[in-house]
Structure 1
Amino acid sequence: MSSVLDRFLRYVKIDTQSDPHSTSFPSTDKQRDLSKLLLVELQTMGVTDAHLDEYGYVYATIPATSPKLQVPVICFCSHVDTSPDVTGTNVKPIVHPNWQGEDLVLPDDSAQVIRLADHPDLAGQIGNDIVTASGTTLLGADNKAGVAEIMAATEYLLQHPEIPHGTIRILFTPDEEVGRGTEHVDMLKLAADSGYTVDGETVGTLENETFSADAARISIQGVSTHPGFAKGKLENALKIAADIVASLPQGTLSPETTEDKEGFIHPVSVQGSQDEATVDFIIRDFTLVGLKQKEEILRQIMEKALTRYPNSKAELTVTEQYRNMKDVLDKYPQVTDNAIEAMRRVGLAAEPRSIRGGTDGSRLSFMGLPCPNIFAGEHAFHSRLEWVSVQDMEKAVEVIVEIAKVWEERA
């Protein structure tokens, strides 16, 4: 049986970085490289219906072993892509065994140092085996730790048919990091009653609330003319864009100034020329009211900026991204309760959390699959300092197996 660490070390070496500017699906074809490997490994385990569809999704089924006929079908889901924020090419994972609290200097860039003082969750890892990258790439624990954990749990359950459980669906998605992870999920094919994404952080955590999220784009039409004859005529679209960004609230409503349940307006891209420009934002809040308030603030900033450029135009377009999963999960308390019980049984004090972000589970919940997020052990994700504990990954495998058992017992 392949250990969760063995799997993880294989998977992170495959570059699966997604691309937010791509119009294809998946956004990068290289994501299929990992999906194809997962398909082969599932088939080798004996999963007869495992397949990779045209969109890059991997679907598979662990058949029921319970004699009960009414056990709900549950799904475990993780995403294969890694963040566009940091390169995922030529990842060189390093296992630091029996870590004793020392600084972890990453060898390919000695300026990249993982320190206990900067990573409070390391305090609980003394004596554990820590996996990092080498300093020039991210590690990919987000979310290849989750992928490896689901795969390890799948192999364990298949090799132990004496463990009673209902039908279990496995789903691996592309493009979660660019907000498109569930865009082409076939819910009829998935045919599950509830699910769990395995994409969380600290061991024992269970995320059952997320931001509600929108994308916003301001499209600017300036007035272009030759700069040598521009006096009184030129209205530079790039300067209008800069004025809008510079007019965002200072000291509040930004990712770097908010925490807990506070939302934000975050510019992520400026593109264009003096004639036309676009500014892209992400808007986040835990309530729809707060989301709409922030979008109105952005609209007012845009309109005020335009008063200084009377011959230019701008338009704000808002696109829904995902909504707070808590609105759905509160209607299905057993989904969260069963995960909490499973964690208790493996010796963990479950910690329900709100996540300042979203997961595939956010969208899946509103697509009819109540789907909280359980820990995968990933930390400092989207950075060169990303790390994960082998022991935390092993504990996540135990929790996945135990969740299946709890659902069967309570059916």
Structure 2
Amino acid sequence: MEKLLPRFLEYVQIDTQSDPYSKTTPSTEKQWDLAKKLVMELHQIGMEEVSIDENAYIMATLPSNVDKKVPTIGFVSHFDTSPDFSGRNVKPQIIKEYDGSDIVLNKSMDIVLSPDYFEDLLLYKGQTLITTDGTTLLGADDKAGIVEIITAMEYLINHPEIKHGEIRIGFTPDEEIGRGAHKFDVEKFGAEWAYTMDGSQIGELEYENFNAAKAKVTIKGKSVHPGYAKNKMVNAIGIANEFLSLMPPHEVPEHTTGIEGFFHVHKIKGEIEHAEIDMIIRDHDATHFAARKEMLDDITAKLNKKYGNYLSLSIEDQYKNMREKVEPVFQIVEIAKEAMESLGITPIIKPIRGGTDGSQLSFMGLPCPNIFAGGHNFHGKYEYVPLESMEKATLTIVKICELTASQIK
């Protein structure tokens, strides 16, 4: 466990931000920097069948040390970080024995991580917190998961008295842009089930996630001198504003929680003759999800009828709710739950307000619930992770491996 913190500090300082507008895999060349390092480290700790393919997907094996047939299980994490906020030049700060007060991330910029706003901080009084310096994200999503998996494998290698079956691990690029599992070779991975180490608060155990799609509205216009524009100009920016006004104002991320779905407009650009709206659509319920997509179709049709076919809409499904694939093999959730409880961790079983590689992998034939990695406030400058949560996540992996072997007669 002594290598857990130095590993994490080293990994987060390697910029692996992904790019949703790139067509390559990985979407950014810099993701290779960490990928190649991970391959070296897996060899160093004694993993077998270590491989990395042309798209930077990494796999490795810890062989079974029992003389009976045990299911091969897996653990998966992603090494890219979100394009929502800079991952360059990360300078992690270590707060030992956190006392529950405000944490000044950056004095000169007056950036403060406060429990008055982020109440979860108070869960970790007395613990060691790793934070940003207020100018970048941290990268606990999901470098914490990668560190936990590697450290757990190293722990099992160094403690052969802990009995386990064959363990497969996989690290992926581009999860943050919804493509982390697109080129994952499930057949090569060869596990009966797996767990993504990509959750947040200690104890999280999730087997439901959003149905997800991305949408793009493209609007054409006509530019005419404004002094002579009556009944002639078609202002694409104005139509874009009207489109947004017809969407439900409270069905957005900042006004929803739990299993409530939303529309999230994350980019708008426009001139008189051309405007674009980029958004994502999320809902746990498949019927409601379909209705959301239909709503965008209806708004597009309404405005085309009003203005004369100046709008086009494209919608692309990204992933589905993995619940339907996990429930038939629910014992894999029960094993994770038992592992946590045996370590004194209270399981928090709830739907994910997002998605993980596991949601796609589940529909590719690899049932894959999600387990906490420990971080909070992902994708921004207030991101932090308690060291003790990372240690507990590492031990949870070890215990899952042990329980899987011990429960098979």
TM-score (norm 1): 0.95
CA separation of 1:309/1:109 partners in 2, compared to 1, >3 Å: closer, same or farther? farther
**Aligned-partner Cα distance in 1 for 2:401–2:236:** 56
What does residue 338 of structure 1 align with?
Answer: 335
The amino acid of 1:208's aligned partner reads: Y
What does residue 301 of structure 1 align with?
Answer: 299
Structure 2 residue 291 is matched with structure 1 residue 282: no
TM-superposed CA distance for 1:159, in Å, is: 1.4
What does residue 321 of structure 2 align with?
Answer: 324
What does residue 114 of structure 1 align with?
Answer: 113
- Name the % identity: 46
**Aligned-partner Cα distance in 2 for 1:108–1:378:** 23
**Does the CA contact (< 8 Å) of 1:220 and 1:278 recur in 2?**
yes
TM-superposed CA distance for 1:225, in Å, is: 4.8
Q: Deviations over 1:205-231 (max 9, x none)?
A: 101111111112222233345656544
The amino acid of 1:383's aligned partner reads: G
What does residue 153 of structure 1 align with?
Answer: 152
Q: Deviations over 1:148-196 (max 9, x none)?
A: 1111101111112221111111101111111110111111211111010
The amino acid of 1:295's aligned partner reads: K
Q: Deviations over 1:124-158 (max 9, x none)?
A: 21110000011111111111111111111011111
**Aligned-partner Cα distance in 2 for 1:394–1:143:** 15
What does residue 47 of structure 1 align with?
Answer: 47
What does residue 253 of structure 1 align with?
Answer: 251
Structure 2 residue 360 is matched with structure 1 residue 388: no
**Aligned-partner Cα distance in 2 for 1:265–1:349:** 32
What does residue 76 of structure 1 align with?
Answer: 75
**Does the CA contact (< 8 Å) of 1:205 and 1:375 recur in 2?**
yes
TM-superposed CA distance for 1:327, in Å, is: 1.2
**Aligned-partner Cα distance in 2 for 1:95–1:37:** 24
**Does the CA contact (< 8 Å) of 1:217 and 1:280 recur in 2?**
yes
The amino acid of 2:168's aligned partner reads: R
Structure 2 residue 199 is matched with structure 1 residue 222: no
- Once the two structures are superposed, the pairs formed by residues 64-213 of structure 1 within 5 Å of their partners are 64-69=64-69, 71-107=70-106, 109-213=108-212
Structure 2 residue 354 is matched with structure 1 residue 357: yes
TM-score (norm 2): 0.96
What does residue 266 of structure 1 align with?
Answer: 264
What does residue 240 of structure 2 align with?
Answer: 241
**Does the CA contact (< 8 Å) of 1:108 and 1:136 recur in 2?**
no
TM-superposed CA distance for 1:110, in Å, is: 4.2
CA separation of 1:75/1:108 partners in 2, compared to 1, >3 Å: closer, same or farther? farther
Name which of structure 1's ranges 326-335 and 275-284 shifts more when overlaid on structure 2: 275-284
**Aligned-partner Cα distance in 1 for 2:107–2:65:** 48
**Aligned-partner Cα distance in 1 for 2:259–2:204:** 17
Tell me the secondary structure at the aligned position of residue 307 of structure 2. coil
Q: 5+ unaligned residues in a row in structure 2: which ranges?
A: none
**Does the CA contact (< 8 Å) of 1:109 and 1:134 recur in 2?**
no
**Aligned-partner Cα distance in 2 for 1:208–1:111:** 39
What does residue 12 of structure 1 align with?
Answer: 12
**Aligned-partner Cα distance in 1 for 2:29–2:229:** 46
**Aligned-partner Cα distance in 2 for 1:228–1:73:** 72
**Aligned-partner Cα distance in 1 for 2:155–2:328:** 32
**Does the CA contact (< 8 Å) of 1:47 and 1:62 recur in 2?**
yes
Name which of structure 1's ranges 218-227 and 84-93 shifts more when overlaid on structure 2: 218-227
Tell me the secondary structure at the aligned position of residue 406 of structure 1. helix
RMSD of aligned Cα (Å)? 1.6
TM-superposed CA distance for 1:392, in Å, is: 0.6
Q: For 1:379, which of 356, 376, 380 is the aligned residue?
A: 376
The amino acid of 1:19's aligned partner reads: D
The amino acid of 1:379's aligned partner reads: H
The amino acid of 2:370's aligned partner reads: N
**Aligned-partner Cα distance in 2 for 1:142–1:373:** 13
Tell me the secondary structure at the aligned position of residue 268 of structure 1. strand
**Does the CA contact (< 8 Å) of 1:104 and 1:114 recur in 2?**
yes
What does residue 34 of structure 2 align with?
Answer: 34
**Aligned-partner Cα distance in 2 for 1:200–1:73:** 22
The amino acid of 1:246's aligned partner reads: S
For these two proteins, the number of residue pairs brought into alignment is: 408
